[in-house]
């Protein structure tokens, strides 16, 4: 006969039945952005669940934050609004006390949206007359000064983002950029105010509200700025930002950083990279992978458009090569090549065709035994995660700022899959090899 387990004290039994409220409900406009935000929240000590779309089944209890990943960055603004509102009502119904709309640290959008329209729809939904907008992420070189966004040492408009295939960013003045997308007046909380601290930021918010400003861009150049502003935003029903602002919010619920919070099961199985990002960083990372002599295959969009079955061709190429060394399948190309493809196929059409091709390849790779998959590119990641039918993701250790390894269950794999979704712009030049060295 076994030994009876000791009975837990009564107060523990009661605690187990008490519903814990979710503090932060997050809506991310793409999937790499969602893991980036979840990564920063986990590193700041929160228990986070990341879902792909609005979950259809109940989530495990006890999360401090839930990040709902949408693929709404480049879809028509009205569709982005309706998907974001559906996510917002679900998060509020789960008890979220504050909502966080996460967009790109390079403010990826066009004059048609979607940052402005989604922000304003969420403000209407929450019946709030004020929110902030701050894509600053100093750990990744995104800083804001006098409303101007810098990427590393250059203005946004001088960075590689001016050549983005879907959302070229040619104006670094975010007050101007957001005003073009918004009906509400857009203002600025400038660096002098942020440097003066939490009370100064709160006083400036009160002043801006009196002046009829609905959304304020906020300057920040360091993590210390993000901590100060986090305290000042405690009472806002809605925060809109990149992932950086997230590091300053957990303190409002007395949550402190916890290095234990990002543990995953150990990784095994074949390794692959699928890259559809055409950013400067991804181009350099692909070149680095090839320079190592590792197996890589390029996908030519024009051949796909011409009817060649590149999915079958890529999977046939990859099959005998899968193993301890990662394989890379990529559509990543330099701006001139991207423009030539877009001129022939159309911007959206080219993007969708390549996403469909790469996501079918990702699915085939996992069905063929890949269990450590790295995807480069936000839209590309969205397509791949959807093809793999992943519903939730567990956040693990950070590879580089903004990119953690994650663990997910996919119908395509009997066991789970380790997956990393790399934002186009993120990661050092040796990111692909670094990621697999860390997972092994």
Q: What would the two tokens of residue 328 be? A: 């890379």
The single residue listed with the structure tokens 């935003």 is 233
Q: How far is the CB of 141 from ligand ADP (least distance, A)?
A: 16
Examine residue 284 and tell whether it contacts ligand ADP (CB under 6 A): no
d(CA 92, CA 54): 12
Question: Which residues have a Cβ under 8 Å from the Cβ of 295 and sit 6 or more positions away?
Answer: 318, 321, 325, 327, 328
269 binds, among ligand ADP, ligand LB5GJZVW, none (CB under 5 to 8 A by kind): none
120 binds, among ligand LB5GJZVW, ligand ADP, none (CB under 5 to 8 A by kind): none
The single residue listed with the structure tokens 């408009």 is 157
Give Cα separations from 253 to 45, 308, 426 (angstroms).
11, 55, 29
Residues at the site binding ligand LB5GJZVW, with contacts judged by CB under 6 A: 30, 32-33, 36, 104-106, 242-243, 377-378, 402, 423-425
Examine residue 225 and tell whether it contacts ligand ADP (CB under 6 A): no
Q: How far is the CB of 331 from ligand ADP (least distance, A)?
A: 3
350 binds, among ligand LB5GJZVW, ligand ADP, none (CB under 5 to 8 A by kind): ligand ADP
Q: Give me the helices (H) in 368-430, please.
A: 378-387
105 binds, among ligand ADP, ligand LB5GJZVW, none (CB under 5 to 8 A by kind): ligand LB5GJZVW
Q: How far is the CB of 167 from ligand LB5GJZVW (least distance, A)?
A: 8
Q: How far is the CB of 36 from ligand LB5GJZVW (least distance, A)?
A: 3
Examine residue 331 and tell whether it contacts ligand ADP (CB under 6 A): yes
Q: Which of 132, 131, 133, 150 is nearest to 221 (CA)?
A: 150
Nearest position to ligand ADP, beta carbon: 424
Examine residue 413 and tell whether it contacts ligand ADP (CB under 6 A): no
Residues 163-192 contacting ligand ADP, CB under 6 A = 164-166
Backbone angles phi, psi at 97, to 5 degrees: -90, -20
33 binds, among ligand LB5GJZVW, ligand ADP, none (CB under 5 to 8 A by kind): ligand LB5GJZVW
Backbone angles phi, psi at 390, to 5 degrees: -85, 135
Q: Which of 376, 327, 270 is nearest to 30 (CA)?
A: 376
Give Cα separations from 314 to 112, 285, 295, 296, 308 (angstroms).
36, 20, 12, 10, 11
Residues that bind ligand ADP (CB under 6 A): 164-166, 276-279, 282, 301, 331, 333, 337-338, 341-342, 350-351, 354-355, 377-380, 423-424
């Amino acid at each position: 006969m076994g030994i009876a387990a000791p009975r837990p004290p009564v107060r523990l039994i009661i605690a187990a039945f008490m519903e814990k409220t979710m503090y932060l409900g997050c809506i991310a406009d793409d999937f790499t952005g969602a893991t980036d935000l979840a990564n920063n929240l986990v590193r700041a000590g929160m228990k986070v669940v990341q879902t792909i779309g609005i979950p259809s089944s109940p989530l495990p209890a006890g999360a401090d934050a839930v990040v709902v990943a949408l693929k709404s960055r480049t879809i028509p603004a009205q569709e982005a609004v309706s998907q974001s509102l559906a996510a917002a009502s679900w998060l509020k119904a789960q008890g979220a006390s504050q909502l966080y709309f996460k967009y790109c640290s390079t403010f990826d959008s066009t004059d048609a949206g979607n940052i402005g329209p989604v922000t304003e729809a969420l403000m209407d939904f929450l019946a709030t007359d004020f929110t902030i907008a701050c894509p600053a992420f100093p750990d990744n070189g995104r800083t804001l000064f006098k409303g101007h966004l810098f990427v590393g040492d250059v203005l946004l408009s001088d960075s590689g983002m001016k050549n983005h295939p879907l959302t070229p960013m040619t104006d670094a003045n975010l007050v101007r950029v957001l005003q073009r997308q918004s009906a509400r007046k857009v203002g600025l909380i400038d660096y002098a105010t942020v440097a003066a601290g939490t009370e100064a930021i709160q006083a400036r918010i009160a002043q801006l509200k009196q002046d009829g400003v609905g959304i304020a861009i906020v300057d920040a150049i360091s993590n210390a700025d993000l901590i100060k502003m986090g305290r000042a935003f405690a009472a806002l029903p809605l925060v809109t930002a990149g992932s950086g602002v997230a590091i300053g919010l957990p303190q409002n619920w007395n949550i402190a950083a916890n290095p234990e919070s990002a543990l995953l099961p150990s990784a095994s199985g074949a390794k692959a990279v699928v890259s559809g990002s055409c950013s400067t960083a991804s181009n350099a990372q692909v070149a680095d992978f090839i320079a190592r002599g590792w197996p890589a295959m390029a996908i030519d969009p024009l051949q796909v458009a011409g009817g060649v079955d590149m999915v079958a061709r890529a999977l046939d190429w990859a099959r005998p090569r899968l193993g301890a060394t990662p394989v890379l399948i990529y559509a990543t190309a330099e701006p001139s090549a991207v423009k030539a493809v877009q001129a022939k196929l159309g911007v959206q059409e080219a993007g969708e065709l390549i996403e469909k091709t790469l996501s079918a390849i990702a699915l085939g790779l996992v069905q063929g035994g890949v269990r450590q998959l790295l995807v480069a590119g936000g839209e590309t990641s969205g397509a791949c995660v959807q093809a793999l039918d992943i519903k939730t993701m567990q956040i693990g250790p950070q590879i580089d700022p903004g990119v953690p390894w994650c663990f997910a269950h996919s119908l395509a794999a009997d066991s789970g899959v380790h997956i990393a979704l790399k934002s186009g712009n993120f990661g050092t030049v040796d990111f692909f090899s670094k990621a697999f060295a860390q997972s092994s």
